[in-house]
Amino acid sequence: MNVTVKSFATFREVMDRQLTLDIPEGSTIRTLLAELNGRYNGLNELMFATMDTLKDFVNILKNGRNIHFLAGLDTPLDDGDLVALFPPVAGG
Amino acid sequence: MSSDERFLRQIPLIGEEGQEKLKKARILIAGAGGLGSAIATYLAAAGVGYIRIVDVDIVENSNLNRQILYHEPDIGACKVEAAEKTIRALSHDVEVDAICRHIDEKTVRDLVRGTDLIIDGMDNFAARYILNSASLDEKIPFIHGAVNGFYGQVTVILPGITPCLRCIVPTPPTWERNPIIGVTCGVIGCIEATEAFKYLTGTGEILKNRLLLWDGLRGEAESLQIMRYPDCIDCGSSAIEQDVRRFRV
Ligand SMILES: [Zn+2]
């Protein structure tokens, strides 16, 4: 199945701003990130605080919904999903 | 000076009616920094009748790369007082309510009440969550904007209709003194002001249910669809139930 990933702001400094990946059925955000971490050097360090927790500025939207309110890293993915990786900016 | 003449070039877009709506509008600009400078300047120039501007800081030399409301002689002055002076010099028709106060849970109610629109010029998420809650409680729309370096984001929050700030960003990113440049504050502040202009005059389509992400480094903007979280602690049904309970007591 195909999932589209978009990255924003500082994430673009280590990865493409948009890509479509063919991933196996049953994939989750966690397995998607593992796939991305295999492709892009530095992404893991940028996103993860520990192996199992994202840094607090990492926000992931699946079809416009924050995975924080879904099943976090275990949020399941479906064909055609759009996953946005976005570090909210905070200055003013 | 005739104000009719001043708005000659924008009336074809919004009509006399739209101009009248701007004149009657009462807005809160929360924060008089880089974003607040662009927002206040353009909305005062557009003919907004009442601007309440709130900030507790003093003008510093290191603000002047981006905070265009202030000039060298203002260094050391209270920001909102200097802001009022600049806005009044631009337009004697605008009523400016300059409030030198910290925005916190205790002060926020009085600061937002009596306004039609809250516009974000803050520099941290803790204060933004306080404004987000006040916007929901008082049912006053909230235009969120923020910047970091060349990047920025904007969305318009309509209480009870669109996702709130907490639906999009559930936990605050750790506060850091991030790099900041004037042009990004100008771009994002002007997008916020554009949304305010449209909302107040009923023109066009506002940036609701979408998060606009600006990438100045690559000269690109994109808007993402965003969804409301039904159980959001700030705007969800449980938050509303809590509110009802609070009123019953
Ligand atoms: Zn919410």
Output the domain CATH number for residue B144. Answer: 3.40.50.720
With a cut of 70, say whether residue B3 has pLDDT above it: no
Question: Are B184 and A82 spatial neighbours (Cβ–Cβ below 8 Å)?
Answer: no
Confidence of residue B245 (pLDDT cuts 50, 70, 90): very low
Residue B241 above 70 pLDDT?
no
Contact (CB, 8 A) for B177 and B214: no
Residue of A nearest to B168 (CA): A66
What is the rounded distance in angstroms from the CA atom of residue B32 to the CA atom of residue B71?
14
Decide if B225 contacts B219 (C-beta within 8 A): no
Per residue in B198-235, is it b (16+ CB within 10 Å) or e — as a string?
A: bbbbeeeebbbbbbbbbbbeeeeeeebebbbbeebebb
Q: Which of B147, B174, B226 sits opposite A91 (nearest CB)?
A: B147
CB–CB contact A92 B31 (8 Å): yes
User: Count of domains in chain B?
Assistant: 1
What's the one-letter identity of residue A13?
E
Question: Nearest by CB to A92, which of B35, B169, B171?
Answer: B35
Query: Dihedral (C-alpha) B67, B72, B78, B79: value to the nearest 10 degrees?
Result: -10
Q: Do B218 and A88 touch (CB under 8 A)?
A: no
Note whether B69 and B86 are within 8 A (CB). Answer: yes
ipTM: 0.94
The ranges of chain A with pLDDT < 70 are none
pLDDT in tens, A45-55: 999 999 889 99
In chain A, the domains with their CATH numbers are: 2-86 (3.10.20.30)
Query: Looking at the complex, does the CB of residue B215 fall below 8 Å from at least one CB of chain A?
Result: yes
Query: B5-53 pLDDT, tens per residue?
Result: 999 999 999 999 999 999 999 999 999 999 999 999 999 999 999 999 9
pLDDT at B205 over 60: yes
- Tokens standing for residue B134: 């006040």
CA-nearest residue to B189 within chain A is A92
Give which of B168, B167, B162 is closest to B142, Cα–Cα. Answer: B162
User: What is the DSSP code (8-state) at residue B175?
Assistant: P
Q: Residue B242: pLDDT above 90? A: no
Q: What is the pLDDT of residue B52?
A: 98
The Å distance, Cα B231 to ligand 1 centre, comes to 8
Residue B96: which domain range? 3-247
Distance B173 CA to ligand 1 centre (A): 17
The answer to whether the CB atoms of B124 and A56 lie below 8 A apart is no
3-class state of residue B119 by DSSP = strand
Greatest C-alpha distance within chain A:
42
Q: Please give the mean pLDDT across all residues of chain B.
A: 94
Chain A with chain B: Cβ pairs closer than 8 A: 99
The answer, yes or no, to whether residue B177 has pLDDT greater than 80, is no
**Per-residue model confidence as pLDDT tens digits over A33-46:** 999 999 999 999 99
Question: What does the pLDDT read at residue B248?
Answer: 40
